[in-house]
Chains A and B, each alone.
Chain A
Amino acid sequence: MNREKNATAAPVRIKNESSVLRADDKTLLERLSDEILMARVAGGNPAALEMLYDRYASTVLGLSLKVIGDQALAEDVLQETFWRVWQSAATYESQRGSFAGWLFRIARNLAIDAYRRRNARPQAMPDVVGSEPILDQVSDPDVDVVEQVQSSLQHKQVRLALLSLSPAQRQVIEMAYFFGMTRQEIAEATGEALGTIHTRARLAIQKLRAELDKEEFEG
């Protein structure tokens, strides 16, 4: 993203309950990196939080919805995720990883918690086996990427990278990442040996990394 690193602090004014951004604030904040915005959130700046929300809410909601499968619950998780960001901003350390990675980890954990509270595990887990991948429509990259999703370059890059995986490798990644299943649960659900699951996970991540590097992915 094109961001200015050393911009001065923008004035913040609370206009109403749903937005704290004035037009001039927004223009300035849009140019700031996630990490600089987080420093402002840590200082109690709601406008910086709103900018991060505008940047990531649709991805966080998409992620939560994939895990939970319920729009209302997923929106609760979305709200709770950014509330955690607001409350825990002082503990975020940019040297330890990107803001997006931290944010998605919070969202994913909250979504899995919500999913488990709603469903007695592991009832929904076996549905993954033999069904369409959670990262859906990856079998048709042209339709998926260009026509249906019309999303960001990053979205396209990740989807193309996922296409490089075999269905079995993708399944292991989906079960672990989206359902929070342990390796033993995955082995049991797929009927494969634990060693096979290990190999699939390792190769899948290696392959994803290689593809993302090839596409010059910038997370």
Chain B
Amino acid sequence: MDERQIEELLPFYALDALTEEERILVEEYLAEHPEARQKLEEMTDTVSALARGVSRVEPSPRAKKALMGRVAADVKARARASRQQQPFLSFLGGMRGENILRAFTLGIATLAIVWVIMLNVELARLRNQIATLNDALVAQSNSLNQIIASLPQATPSNVITVSLKGTDVQPQAQGQLIADPNSQSAVLVIAGLPPLEPGKTYQVWLIDGGTPVSAGLLTVDENGQAVFLVTSEEAIGSFNSLGISVEPKGGSLQPTGDIVVLSEI
């Protein structure tokens, strides 16, 4: 498709009426043509106004009640989660009277005794494990030294690995980002993301101070796993977070759907 044909797609991009393949073509074109981006922004503003043209309809009070009830429950859940991060302090804050204090002291003493016994058992087990691991380490170090010796030209690497985790929307999601912070690409390994229904796609975002930049569309296999090459015009180290959201087919200019993964990098 030549440039003129891609320019003809811009109104449909603004209207969100392109196939996924067409959207990708347009986005590649936009990345290299700032004047086209400017034109598209004006079209998108115009299209956004269309919603104002429909007759407004007053929702039933039930709709607002349901929404705010859901939000109130979420606020409570967040507060509860926050409290659970400081259980000991919360527990102490709730104590009243000498009897409770006595019971508390006795309980703590009992727990401490049980804890000491368990620690001794665990210590013995760990000592054995350390001895075994030491043997394995020595063997692996020898192998590694042989490999290093055979690769004298290898360059030093700054590669780091960052753990990624799912949000409350997709708590089972987890993965790793393997990157050289000075590089413009990184490898994303992710699991626990269910395959999406047709018309939806995962989109990877690199976030710098709250500004999400698309790093591409992500497709997972039937087991919810994917290995993905994250690319960026800026060094990966210049971003402070990575997120994955669910977007309409073809992706979005900024996140509009559920955020399923969000972690600091």
* A contact residues vs B (CB 8 Å cutoff): 14, 17-20, 44, 46, 49-50, 53, 57-63, 65-66, 71, 74-75, 78-79, 82-84, 86-88, 90-93, 95-98, 100-102, 104-109, 113, 116, 134-136, 148-149, 151-152, 154-155, 157-159, 161-162, 173, 176-177, 180-184, 186, 198, 201-202, 204-205, 208-209, 212, 217, 219
Q: Which residues of B contact A100 (CB under 8 A)?
A: 48, 51
Bound CA span A17–B16, Å: 36
Given A75-B63, A91-B259, A202-B11, A173:B50 Cβ within 8 A:
yes
Find out whether the CB atom of A44 lies under 8 angstroms from the CB atom of B75.
yes
Q: Tell me, rounded to whole Å, the shortest Cβ–Cβ distance linking B243 to chain A.
A: 7
Q: Which residues of B contact A87 (CB under 8 A)?
A: 169, 258-259
Q: Tell me, rounded to whole Å, the shortest Cβ–Cβ distance linking B265 to chain A.
A: 16
Q: Which has the most chain A C-beta neighbours within 10 Å: B18, B52, B62?
A: B52
Find out whether the CB atom of A57 lies under 8 angstroms from the CB atom of B59.
yes
Q: Which has the most chain B C-beta neighbours within 10 Å: A87, A181, A217?
A: A87
**A to B CB contacts below 8 Å, 21 in the list:** A19-B64, A20-B71, A46-B68, A86-B71, A87-B258, A88-B259, A91-B243, A96-B254, A97-B44, A97-B254, A105-B48, A105-B256, A149-B55, A158-B52, A173-B50, A176-B16, A182-B18, A201-B15, A205-B14, A212-B46, A212-B49
Q: Which residues of B contact A209 (CB under 8 A)?
A: 42-43, 45-46
Find out whether the CB atom of A93 lies under 8 angstroms from the CB atom of B211.
yes
With CB as the reference atom, state the residue of chain B lying closest to A179. Answer: B17
Find out whether the CB atom of B53 lies under 8 angstroms from the CB atom of A91.
no
Contact with A along B252-265 (1 / 0, CB 8 A): 11111111000000
Q: Which residues of A contact B32 (CB under 8 A)?
A: none
Q: Which residues of A contact B253 (CB under 8 A)?
A: 96-97
Given A14-B72, A79-B67, A113-B199, A93:B61 Cβ within 8 A:
no
Given A17-B68, A88-B255, A105-B256, A183:B12 Cβ within 8 A:
yes
With CB as the reference atom, state the residue of chain A lying closest to B61. Answer: A18
Partner of B50 from A50, A65, A116, A177 at Cβ < 8 Å: A177
With CB as the reference atom, state the residue of chain A lying closest to B50. Answer: A177
Q: Which residues of A contact B67 (CB under 8 A)?
A: 53, 78-79, 82-83
With CB as the reference atom, state the residue of chain B lying closest to A80. Answer: B67
Q: Tell me, rounded to whole Å, the shortest Cβ–Cβ distance linking B26 to chain A.
A: 12
With CB as the reference atom, state the residue of chain A lying closest to B168. Answer: A87
Bound CA span A66–B252, Å: 23
Find out whether the CB atom of A108 lies under 8 angstroms from the CB atom of B51.
yes
Extra contacts, 13 of them, besides A59-B52, A98-B48 (Cβ < 8 A), are: A59-B56, A60-B51, A61-B58, A63-B54, A93-B211, A109-B16, A109-B248, A148-B55, A158-B52, A173-B50, A202-B8, A209-B43, A219-B48
Find out whether the CB atom of B72 lies under 8 angstroms from the CB atom of A107.
no
Find out whether the CB atom of B75 lies under 8 angstroms from the CB atom of A104.
no
Partner of B57 from A65, A86, A101, A134 at Cβ < 8 Å: A65
Q: Tell me, rounded to whole Å, the shortest Cβ–Cβ distance linking B187 to chain A.
A: 24
Bound CA span A60–B136, Å: 63
Find out whether the CB atom of A79 lies under 8 angstroms from the CB atom of B66.
yes
Given A19-B68, A65-B57, A162-B53, A93:B169 Cβ within 8 A:
no
Partner of A159 from B51, B53, B57 at Cβ < 8 Å: B53
Bound CA span A102–B48, Å: 8
Find out whether the CB atom of B64 lies under 8 angstroms from the CB atom of A57.
yes
Given A46-B71, A83-B67, A205:B51 Cβ within 8 A:
no
Q: Tell me whether B153 is interfacial, beta carbon within 8 Å.
A: no
The 7 A-B residue pairs whose C-beta atoms are closest, nearest first, are A101-B48, A18-B65, A158-B53, A176-B17, A104-B51, A58-B56, A176-B15
Find out whether the CB atom of B53 lies under 8 angstroms from the CB atom of A182.
no
Partner of A79 from B63, B74, B199, B205 at Cβ < 8 Å: B63
Q: Tell me whether B156 is interfacial, beta carbon within 8 Å.
A: no
Partner of B256 from A14, A83, A106 at Cβ < 8 Å: A106
Q: Tell me whether B174 is interfacial, beta carbon within 8 Å.
A: no
